[in-house]
Amino acid sequence: MEEVLKAELARLNSPFPKQRISLEEALSSERPGVPLTNGAFQPFRREELELLASLVPEGKRGELRLPILLALDPGLGRGAVRVRGEAESRAVGSLLGKRVEGGELVIYRPELREVRRRLPTTTYYLFLP
């Protein structure tokens, strides 16, 4: 059972994006997306990129890294998710109509549902041990 558990924990963040690209790069790319650690490619939907572009000022598009990581941290309590990075947390904050202070935003399950509903391909879950 413990072997299964260890394998399961190792599998939680697999596959993971090998690199993140800026919103600016994604918008100018013909096939926007990022490679994953298992060799697959995670595509971004064009409509989501356009939605993000409407939320972020033009000068800041180079700072927003995609996919936006939604960190599930059991230390924060059940259902709480942390969004790190100033541009990323501001984008998610303006999507939800939330004020962001500092380079971090904590959102809860109903907000997470809204974020995932509107940005299913440009956000990615990250499990923090």
Residue 121 found at the interface with other proteins (CB under 8 A): yes
Q: Are 37 and 15 in contact (CB under 8 A)?
A: yes
Size of the site for other proteins (CB under 8 A): 33
Residue 11 found at the interface with other proteins (CB under 8 A): yes
In the complex with other proteins, the residue whose CB is nearer, 9 or 57, is: 9
Non-local (6+) Cβ contacts of 12 within 8 A are 127
Which among 22-30, 52-60, 88-96, 111-119 is the span making contact with other proteins, rule CB under 8 A? 111-119
Residue located via tokens 């984008």:
91
Which among 41-49, 55-63, 88-96, 97-105 is the span making contact with other proteins, rule CB under 8 A? 41-49
Q: Are 42 and 17 in contact (CB under 8 A)?
A: yes
> Which of 20, 22, 35, 36 forms a contact with other proteins (CB under 8 A)?
36
In the complex with other proteins, the residue whose CB is nearer, 53 or 80, is: 80
Q: Closest Cα to residue 68, out of 124, 128, 127?
A: 124
Q: What are phi and psi of 48, to 5 degrees?
A: -70, -40
